[in-house]
């Protein structure tokens, strides 16, 4: 089982999962899994179809939302990730190769509802140093009309 890192009480990220990990996740209280690894990516242990089957056997909701590393800042991919966050019961675990790509996707969704500062603080508290993306998160927050005092950061997935 890879290390699981909670960014909020209802959202966590992890590196690549094996088929056996899904049952362990369910036993830990995870309700849903988002797979951000494209099937053809180097090092994929479990393709999306087998991951979906493993999730189903474990009683987990599952969403395949593949994002290549070079697409992690693309609006369409972030929108797809947000749809998964909104449509799945929590706690949700998103996974990719190391957990970083999934955390960047989460941060972009978070910046739509929270200040970039609050988003970065949550990431830092979880052990992710993504300050190099500060200007991108600030731009997202501005685009969505979020100011520091407007943050809605709570025990939510986003």
Residue 157 lies in a domain: no
CATH label of the domain that carries residue 103: 3.90.190.10
* Confidence check: pLDDT of 140 > 50: yes
Helix/strand/coil for 12:
strand
Q: Judge whether 158 lies within some domain.
A: no
Residue 121 lies in a domain: yes
pLDDT at 148 (0 to 100): 61
Listed in sequence order, the residues at least 6 apart from 151 whose beta carbon sits closer than 8 Å to its beta carbon are 113, 114, 115, 118
What's the structural domain count of the chain?
1
Residue 154 exposed, middle or buried by CB count within 10 Å (0-12, 13-18, 19+) = exposed
Contacts of 108 (CB under 8 A, 6+ apart): 73, 78, 81, 136, 137, 140
Average pLDDT (17-34) is 97
> Which residues, at least 6 apart from 66, have a Cβ–Cβ distance to it below 8 Å?
35, 36, 37, 38, 39, 48
Which residue range forms the structural domain that includes residue 54? 4-150
Is the pLDDT reported for residue 151 higher than 70?
Answer: no
Assigned domain for 155 exists: no
**Mean pLDDT throughout 19-23?**
96
**Measured in Å, how far apart are the chain's first and last C-alpha atoms?**
24
What confidence tens digit (pLDDT) does each residue in 75-126 have? 999 999 999 999 999 999 999 999 999 999 999 999 999 999 999 999 999 9
Question: Residue 64 pLDDT more than 50?
Answer: yes
Determine contact, residues 38/48, Cβ cutoff 8 Å: no
Q: What is the pLDDT of residue 149?
A: 54
Question: Across all residues in the chain, what is the average pLDDT?
Answer: 92
Q: How far apart are CA 108 and CA 78, in angstroms?
A: 7
Per-residue confidence band for 54, with pLDDT thresholds at 50, 70 and 90: very high
So what's the pLDDT on residue 109?
97
């Amino acid at each position: 089982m890879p290390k699981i890192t909670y960014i909020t009480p209802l959202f966590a990220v992890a590196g690549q999962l094996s088929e056996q990990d899904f049952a362990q996740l369910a036993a830990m209280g995870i309700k849903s899994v988002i797979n951000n690894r494209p099937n053809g990516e180097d090092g994929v242990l479990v393709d999306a179809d087998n991951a979906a089957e493993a999730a189903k056997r474990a009683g987990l909701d599952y969403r395949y939302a593949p994002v290549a590393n070079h697409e992690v800042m693309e609006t369409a991919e972030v929108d797809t990730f947000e749809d998964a966050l909104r449509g799945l019961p929590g706690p949700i675990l998103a996974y990719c190769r190391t957990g970083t790509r999934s955390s960047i996707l989460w941060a972009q969704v978070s910046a739509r509802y929270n200040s970039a500062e609050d988003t970065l603080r949550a990431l830092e508290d979880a052990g992710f140093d993504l300050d190099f993306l500060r200007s991108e998160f600030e731009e997202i927050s501005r685009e969505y009309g979020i100011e520091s005092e407007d943050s809605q950061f709570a025990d939510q997935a986003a």
